[in-house]
Structure 1
């Protein structure tokens, strides 16, 4: 019986070691191809969002606003309030971000803090590294092209 439990303990320890090794192998393989591991991009990003289009209308005098986005396990989420238009966005990526690229988003578009409508679209990430984040978000209320809203975000 002692031998059985000793063997079982060795199997558990070996399995844990292999799991850690495979994670490191995957992270190293990803970085060799220029792809950050999911955890490498996790963090809180405080920066400036600049709306350029709201509900299909070009913003004539874009006013940058403070915004915070968080990446947890690769999922980006956050919100932007545009006081001049009395609108706000709340978005999150559908899949984990790992580096520059295009990612699908979903979320909600609020008008006058009274009406909340579903939105979808994408973000084009140009920079993300755990410290800095830059992207352009293009969102559509209910998926309708006429409701296109666009804003950029940067920590730089």
Structure 2
């Protein structure tokens, strides 16, 4: 007998397959198993992350009752990512999580915060000034443009 979360995961997988055009074109994902995905975001043209391969592990162990856990690989630094790699995003915050939020919305939200960071409540306090942050991100992007970071 299926659990609610199994049925929801089947639905989400189907929605991802049928509605890939709803994801930003620079966002790709790979399903590892029912409750784990890898997300690859390619830095948008003209952004501080231009052409960088930004990789995150997405854990859906309690989904949809609990928000996904998103952790970035390769010591990727960002104002909205804690130093240990965990993403800080209102969309997946425990207190504000809405169980009807789709994986398409989550994946799109991650892309949005990567390219449009919020400085009012930084997860990584080493980035306080937007101008300095932009310069640091452009420098970091040079490293992550290397094809060895591409996984999808």
TM-score normalised according to structure 2 size: 0.41
TM-score normalised according to structure 1 size: 0.41
Q: Which is strand-richer, 1 or 2?
A: 1
Which structure's CA Rg is the greater one? Answer: 1
